[in-house]
Amino acid sequence: MLSPMRQYCLMGTQTLEQIIDDAGRLPVDHDRLEDRYRGVMLGVAAGNCLGIPVEGQSASAIRRHHPDGVRDIDPAEHDRPWDDDLAQTVMVAETLLEDSELDPDRLAARFLRWSRDNGRGIGVLTRQVLDEIAAGKSAAEASLEVWEQSGWSTAGNGAVMRCAPVALRWRRSGAALVRNARASALATHYDARCEWSTVAFSAALATTLSGPTVPVDELASALEEAAGTDWAAAGVGHVVEAIRQVPQRDLQELRLDDPMDMGYTLKAMQVGLWCLMQPGELEPSLIGVVSSGGDADTNGAVSGAALGARAGAQALPPRWLRRIGRAEHLVRLADRLRSIEGDD
């Protein structure tokens, strides 16, 4: 049986940590940084809400009903409970503001309370893990058990979708970012692909907040050093391969609506990285991602975080912001994370 404590194992992440540290030393205008932080949290919400009505649909099915793309958020979203993508992102942010270092058990306990009170949109894997936690298991034990029961094959996107606050909190500290990104994933997702795609996207998001996004080759090479030689090496290798594919593909070639890997952690990571690295404006880019189908609400949330980090909250259409429930709370979380980012 694999050790449920592997989140505490040391791996060769020094190069990745240095990339984040170096980016964090770049001078950033205060107002611009504030706008980017708000853009990340509001971008998660906008992309998530935009994608909810078309979740699971193919791009062709979406085109039949939305020939110009999915352009607007359902007005009813303003008064609905947050979907799981946004709700869990907020819980990660709130936990980081309370504890700074994420404890998988405390984070999973928060998810469990939310699942009982609301749980809108919760994924199958996350629900199964939380059921095991409710029965008395630790987060590490529960996530490992559910993963083993899947045949060591389940690698859903639920960890990548919620990791943006880790980049906000630890924009200037590579070591802390890597530790906390891993912990945020391992609260529910044991597979190494989930863990390290979460680290990769968090790292790229952090460098974007500070300045230019880390180049794909540098990010992939840094992840390769972290692979080690244990059982997780193959999973990290899949993450590295997926990162290197991103510059070679346009949005259509990412095939977000492929039914064989809809909801796959590497697909969510890829579209997030693609949004960080391509030059398009926020609104048409996010509409394009959501209108490409597949796990549209999660792909939208990840892409919204990426595009918000690049362009800031000022680039989000006011008509979207008016339809996001409790948007002012998201702004407050962003501001509080910015006020302590990098503090030990």
What pLDDT score was predicted for residue 8? Answer: 39
Amino acid occupying residue 129? V
What pLDDT score was predicted for residue 223? Answer: 95
Can you tell me the distance from the alpha carbon of 93 to that of 108, in angstroms, rounded to the nearest whole number? 13
What pLDDT score was predicted for residue 152? Answer: 81
Q: What percent helix, strand, coil does the chain show, rounded to 5?
A: 70, 0, 30
What pLDDT score was predicted for residue 110? Answer: 98
Strand, coil or helix: 165: helix
What pLDDT score was predicted for residue 100? Answer: 79
Q: How many other CB atoms are found less than 10 A from the CB of residue 291?
A: 25
Amino acid occupying residue 219? L
Q: Which residue has the tokens 């997780």?
A: 232
Can you tell me the distance from the alpha carbon of 138 to that of 4, in angstroms, rounded to the nearest whole number? 9
**Stretches in the chain below the pLDDT threshold 70:** 1-11, 228-231, 342-344
Can you tell me the distance from the alpha carbon of 236 to that of 225, in angstroms, rounded to the nearest whole number? 10
What pLDDT score was predicted for residue 320? Answer: 98
What pLDDT score was predicted for residue 83? Answer: 98
What pLDDT score was predicted for residue 7? Answer: 42
Output phi, psi for 31, to 5 deg: -65, -35
What pLDDT score was predicted for residue 9? Answer: 46
Judging by beta carbons within 10 Å of its beta carbon (0-12, 13-18, 19+), is residue 308 exposed, middle or buried? buried
Spell out the residues 6+ positions from residue 337 whose beta carbon is closer than 8 angstroms to its own: 37, 93, 96, 97, 165, 168, 169
What is each CA distance from 120 to 87, 114, 262, 333, in whole angstroms? 9, 9, 19, 21
Amino acid occupying residue 173? S
What pLDDT score was predicted for residue 4? Answer: 42
Q: Classify domain 20-81+156-173+191-340 by CATH number.
A: 1.10.4080.10
Evaluate whether 220 touches 240 at the Cβ level (below 8 Å).
yes
Output phi, psi for 21, to 5 deg: -60, -45
